[in-house]
Every structure is written in structure tokens, then in C-alpha cells.
């Protein structure tokens, strides 16, 4: 059934539930001298390239490959439309390797037809802090699908990760592969219900009129938590401390230091938004909320071409409830003209989803580790990791 994945060091379906297998790396590292020195073979018409995301031209080519060929929903009504600024941010975190930004071009025309990326990250699995690659943006042009190009891309990124002496990876996908460490549900909170219904993202509920629906999703004009403000550079140490303490409770979570927090969480217009609560009395940073911006192209609608979506990222509440904090995040997203606010049922998100009028979507997100076994699948609430 999975001719490629059966050959890889990942949890296999036949081993699900086998409690005799130990947690941890599936195979040991090999000496670097034994890592294949040459790239894997591609079909003859194609060549490997390393994509320089600093180059405006390369970034444009990656952007247009993904805009036209990346992830769609099950009914092909929407397609992710990561912005160029977002891609630059996602692919250039502290310690990134240019060699992990891998493209495939047609030799004759130089057209970019496939892409895969890794970025380094320290991920804690229970008590074990592991330096991993986060693999993302795997994309093969629609006209080159089902030719077994994806396994070659995955083997090539694996080889380049090994060359940096890293032996594990984390990735998410909407499809089931061998084998998820957890399966999460997408939830959606309408901010602009009229548009969402017009474009087929959501439907008018039974016995609901448009005006009742608009009223149902109305939010206050401004945030309610005293001391709620945008995060600034000088907040990095305090946010890092707050987040590290919070994430320590989850079975799988990033091990963020101050450099990581500055990169991943300092606000960047139309890429990542972060807010915090500074106590009006003590000036302590007590709460934190963030979301990233990932629009989707609306495929074949007369009136609209873009759906503006915010995705819940990392949130920590200590002085107020997570419910009130996330309500303020919804208010900010509404102020900034987002159409929908999306969240997974990870971390403590279940505590606010229903009350804040999120509804379950038709998509799931499966989390995976490469070359690291987990004894039993985790509950989404045991995951402290959000990938882009
Ligand atoms: S998930 C988003 C993936 N991208 C898309 O869905 C975009 C639209 N689709 C496409 O471009 C986020 C193509 O359909 C793709 C497959 C390229 C998906 N992950 O070439 P073939 C990520 O980027 C397996 C992993 O004929 P294709 C995470 C499939 O099961 N494997 O198919 C990426 C089959 O193998 P099997 C996937 O449709 C994580 C084989 O590919 C997959 O033309 C990557 C078929 O290949 C997916 N999303 O191209 C893994 N989709 O064994 C990283 C399909 O079942 C692992 N497949 O026969 C770690 C590496 C680093 C390790 C470091 C130590
Ligand atoms: C790697 N980092 O399916 C990511 N999205 O629910 C790759 N559905 O938007 C993995 N089909 O339910 C990506 N509206 C996997 C996800 C791929 C994209 C995807 C789903 C997630 C989605 C929407 C639109 C469905 C359109 C028809 C959806 C219902 C919203 C409704 C709002 C009101 C309250 C009830 C729910």
C-alpha cells in the first residue's frame, strides 16, 4: 500500500499498538562519511536547484509554483496562498540552511516544477530535546503528479538534513501516512460570515437568516483585557520565559530560546501578529496570544478571489482566561479585516473553541515524526507544536 513509506524509518501501521517497541530514534545516526555525497537521480529532463529565497526572482518563482499547485481543500474550492514575505519568514529562521530549500527545474526551460523545504528546530519529545528538520512546502506541479517524484524529493531533503548531522524531522499533512503521532481537527470562527457564505466556505445554518448569522458572529469594536497590547522587541525575554514555562506541560513542543521567539513571534506585518497582556499594576507580562496570516485563493468565484485567514499560533493565559484572551485575539483579527480565524484542537484550545463560536471544519491535520517512535498516539491536547 505505501511502497515508499514502508521503506522509511517511521512508525509503521503494522506496529500500531505494539507496546514492546521503545520510544525514541528508530535507527541510529550513520557516520557522516557514509551519507551519500551526490544528489538522488531525477528523471532526465529535470535538475536539482537550491533556491535562494533572498533572490526576488527565485522567491517569485516559488510563490507562483505554490500559488498554483499547493494544498487545496477536499472540494478544490480554496488553495493556500502563502505570501512571499511569509515564505521568506518561514524559511529563514535562526540557523537555517540554504541547502534545505530544494527546487526541481526543467533542464531545458528552467521552469520551477517542484519544491520541498526544511528548517532546523529544537523539538522536545517528552524529556528528550531533539534537533530536527521541520519539513514543509512539498509541492509537485499539477502536470507532474503521480510520477513518484515526491519520494525522490523526500529522500533528497533527508540526505541534505543528514549532511548537517540531523537525523529526525517533524511534519504535518492533511493526508494519512505511516503513522500519525496525533490527528487534529481544524476549527473555524467566522469573522465575515456574509463573505464566507457567498464563497462557499460556510453555509447558512438551518433556520438561520443572513442577518441573524451576522448578529451571531458580531464582536466588540475593541479588546477588553486591561494591558492588552502588541508585542514589541523589548518583550522578547519576558515572552520567552512565559512561553517556555507554558510549553513544558506538553509531550511534544518546540524548545524556543530568545532568538527563536524574536524570529517566530515578533510581529511582522501580514505575516505574524502577537499580543500580550502587561499587568497595569506590576508591568509583568502575564498573557500572550499570536496568529499567523495565511490567505487562500478562492477558486472560481465571480465576486471574490482571496479569503483572508488568521491561524491561531501560540497562546498563553495566566492572569485572565484563555477564553477572554482568545476573544481579544478575535477582536484584533476582525479589526484587521480577516474573514475567518482558524485553530486546531491542540494545546488547551478546546477550552475556548465552542464558547467562542468556532465550528469544526471538514479538514484534519495529521502530525508526524521521522525516525522517532512514539509508543501511543498523542491526544491533540498533548501537542504543543504548531507548524506553518
Ligand atoms: S503537507 C502538504 C503537501 N503538499 C501538497 O499537498 C500540495 C499539493 N500536492 C502535491 O504537490 C506539508 C503532490 O500531490 C505531492 C505528492 C507533492 C504532495 N507528505 O510523487 P508521487 C508538507 O509539505 C507520498 C509525505 O507519485 P504526487 C509536509 C504518498 O503517500 N508523503 O505523488 C511534507 C506516496 O508514497 P507511498 C506524501 O501526488 C512532508 C508518494 O508520496 C505526501 O505526485 C514530506 C507518491 O508520490 C505528503 N504530503 O506528489 C515528508 N503526499 O509510500 C518529510 C503524498 O504511499 C519526511 N505522499 O506510495 C522527513 C524528511 C526529512 C528527514 C530528516 C532526517
Ligand atoms: C502543512 N503545514 O482542508 C499544512 N481546510 O477545515 C498542510 N475547510 O478550510 C495540510 N471543502 O470546513 C493542510 N468550512 C490540510 C488542510 C487543507 C485545507 C483544508 C479545511 C479545514 C477548510 C473549510 C472550507 C470547506 C470548503 C469545502 C470549512 C466550514 C466553516 C464553518 C464556519 C461556521 C461554523 C462551522 C464551520
- For the 183-382 domain, the top CATH level (class) is alpha beta
Q: What confidence score (pLDDT) does residue 29 get? A: 98
Spatial distance between the Cα atoms of 92 and 95, rounded to a whole number of angstroms: 8
Give the three-state DSSP class for 32. Answer: helix
Residue in the structure block whose three cell numbers are 512571499: 84
Which atom of ligand 1 lies closest to the CA of 146? 26
Substitution site in 71, 72, 73 for ligand 2 pocket (most atoms within 8 Å of beta carbon): 73
CA distance 32 to 252: 28
**CATH 3.40.630.30 domain range(s) in the chain:** 5-172
Q: Is 214 helix (H, G, I), strand (E, B) or coil?
A: helix
Residue among 93, 181, 89 nearest 131 (CA): 93
Ligand 1 center from residue 138 Cα (angstroms): 6
Residue 159 contacts residue 36 (beta carbons within 8 Å):
yes
Q: How far is the CA of 74 from the centre of ligand 2 (A)?
A: 8
Q: At what angle do helices 84-91 and 56-69 cross, to 10 degrees?
A: 110
Q: Where in the chain is the domain with CATH 3.40.630.170?
A: 183-382
Give the C-alpha separation, 215 to 96, whole Å.
Answer: 46
Spacing, Cα 72 to ligand 1 middle (Å):
14
Our mutation pick for probing the ligand 2 site, out of 81, 150, 295, 362, counting the most ligand atoms within 8 A of Cβ, is 362
- CA of 150 from ligand 1 middle (Å) equals 5
Residue of 321, 329, 312, 289 whose CA lies nearest to 385: 312
**Fold (CATH) for 5-172:** Aminopeptidase (3.40.630)
Q: Is the distance from CB of 290 to CB of 305 less than 8 angstroms?
A: no
Burial string for 222-237 (b: 16+ CB within 10 Å, else e) reads ebebebbeebeeebbe
In ligand 1, the atom with minimum distance to the C-alpha of 136 is: 23
- Identify the residue whose C-alpha is closest to ligand 2 atom 4: 173
Nearest CA to ligand 1 atom 60: 158
Which DSSP letter does residue 17 get?
Answer: T
Q: Whose CA is nearest to atom 50 of ligand 1?
A: 154
**Distance (Å) from CA 188 to ligand 2 centroid:** 8
d(CA 84, CA 26): 36
Burial degree of 212 (CB within 10 A; 0-12, 13-18, 19+)? exposed
Rounded to an integer, what distance in angstroms lies between the CA atom of residue 285 and that of residue 277? 6
Q: Is 153 in the pocket of ligand 1 (CB under 6 A)?
A: no
Q: Closest ligand 2 atom, CA of 75?
A: 11
DSSP-derived secondary structure for 346-365: -TTTHHHHTTTT-EEEEEEE
pLDDT score for 372: 98
- Beta-ladder partners of 131: 122
- Spell out the per-residue pLDDT of the chain, length 388, in tens: 999 999 999 999 999 999 999 999 999 999 999 999 999 999 999 999 999 999 999 999 999 999 999 999 999 999 999 999 999 999 999 999 999 999 999 999 999 999 999 999 999 999 999 999 999 999 999 999 999 999 999 999 999 999 999 999 999 999 999 999 999 999 999 999 999 999 999 999 999 999 999 999 999 999 999 999 999 999 999 999 999 999 999 999 999 999 999 999 999 999 999 999 999 999 999 999 999 999 999 999 999 999 999 999 999 999 999 999 999 999 999 999 999 999 999 999 999 999 999 999 999 999 999 999 999 999 999 999 999 9
Cα-based torsion angle of the residue sequence 306, 308, 314, 317 in order, rounded to the nearest 10 degrees = -160
- Axis crossing angle, helix 236-247 with helix 258-265, rounded to the nearest 10: 100
DSSP characters over 216-236: HT---SS--STTEEE--GGGH
Q: Where are the alpha helices (DSSP H) in the chain?
A: 56-69, 84-91, 149-163, 193-198, 210-216, 236-247, 258-265, 322-335, 350-353
> Is this prediction's pTM over 0.90?
yes
Of 108, 99, 107, 127, which Cα lies nearest the Cα of 47? 107
Active-site residue list: 388
Residue nearest to atom 19 of ligand 2 (CA): 73
Nearby residues of 373 by Cβ (< 8 Å), 6 or more positions away: 11, 21, 22, 23, 24, 25, 26
Q: Collect all residues with Cβ–Cβ distance below 8 Å to 354 and sequence separation of at least 6.
A: none
Task: Provide the pLDDT for residue 104.
Answer: 98
Closest protein CA for atom 45 of ligand 1: 148
Q: What is the CA radius of gyration of the chain?
A: 21
Whole-angstrom distance, CA of residue 145 vs CA of residue 137: 15
Amino acid at each position: 500500500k505505501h511502497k515508499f513509506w514502508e521503506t522509511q524509518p517511521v512508525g509503521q501501521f503494522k506496529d500500531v499498538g505494539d507496546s514492546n517497541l521503545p520510544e525514541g530514534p528508530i535507527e541510529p545516526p550513520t557516520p557522516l562519511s557514509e551519507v551519500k555525497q551526490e544528489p538522488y537521480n531525477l528523471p532526465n529532463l529535470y535538475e536539482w536547484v537550491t533556491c535562494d529565497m533572498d533572490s526576488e526572482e527565485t522567491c517569485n518563482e516559488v510563490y507562483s509554483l505554490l500559488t498554483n499547485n499547493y494544498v487545496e481543500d477536499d472540494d478544490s474550492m480554496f488553495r493556500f496562498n502563502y505570501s512571499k514575505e511569509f515564505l521568506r519568514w518561514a524559511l529563514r529562521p535562526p540557523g537555517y540552511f540554504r541547502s534545505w530549500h530544494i527546487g526541481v527545474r526543467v533542464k531545458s526551460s528552467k521552469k520551477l516544477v517542484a519544491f520541498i523545504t526544511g528548517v532546523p528546530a529544537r523539538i522536545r519529545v517528552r524529556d528528550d530535546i531533539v534537533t530536527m528538520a521541520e519539513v514543509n512546502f512539498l509541492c509537485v506541479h499539477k502536470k507532474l503528479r503521480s510520477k513518484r517524484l515526491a519520494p525522490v524529493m523526500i529522500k533528497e531533503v533527508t540526505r541534505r538534513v543528514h549532511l548537517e548531522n540531523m537525523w529526525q524531522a517533524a511534519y504535518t499533512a492533511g493526508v494519512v501516512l505511516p503513522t500519525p503521532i496525533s490527528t487534529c481537527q481544524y476549527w473555524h470562527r467566522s469573522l465575515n460570515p456574509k463573505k464566507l457564505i457567498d464563497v462557499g466556505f460556510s453555509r447558512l445554518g438551518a433556520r438561520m437568516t443572513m442577518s441573524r448569522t451576522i448578529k451571531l458572529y458580531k464582536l466588540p469594536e475593541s479588546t477588553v483585557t486591561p494591558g492588552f497590547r502588541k508585542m514589541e522587541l523589548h518583550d522578547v525575554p519576558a515572552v520567552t520565559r512565559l512561553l517556555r514555562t507554558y510549553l513544558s506541560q506538553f509531550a511534544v513542543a518546540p524548545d524556543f530560546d530568545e532568538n527563536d521567539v524574536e524570529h517566530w513571534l515578533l510581529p511582522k506585518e501580514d505575516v505574524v501578529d502577537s499580543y500580550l497582556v502587561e499587568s497595569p499594576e506590576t508591568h509583568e507580562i502575564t498573557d500572550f496570544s499570536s496568529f499567523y496570516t495565511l490567505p487562500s485563493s478562492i477558486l472560481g468565484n465571480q465576486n471574490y478571489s482571496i479569503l483572508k485567514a488568521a491561524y491561531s499560533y501560540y497562546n498563553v493565559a495566566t492572569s485572565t482566561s484563555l477564553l477572554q484572551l482568545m476573544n481579544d485575539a478575535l477582536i484584533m483579527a476582525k479589526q484587521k479585516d480577516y474573514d475567518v480565524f482558524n485553530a486546531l484542537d491542540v494545546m488547551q484550545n478546546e477550552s475556548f473553541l465552542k464558547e467562542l463560536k468556532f465550528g469544526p471544519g471538514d479538514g484534519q491535520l495529521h502530525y508526524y515524526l521521522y525516525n522517532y517512535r512514539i509508543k501511543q498516539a498523542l491526544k491533540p491536547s498533548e501537542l504543543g507544536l504548531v507548524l506553518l
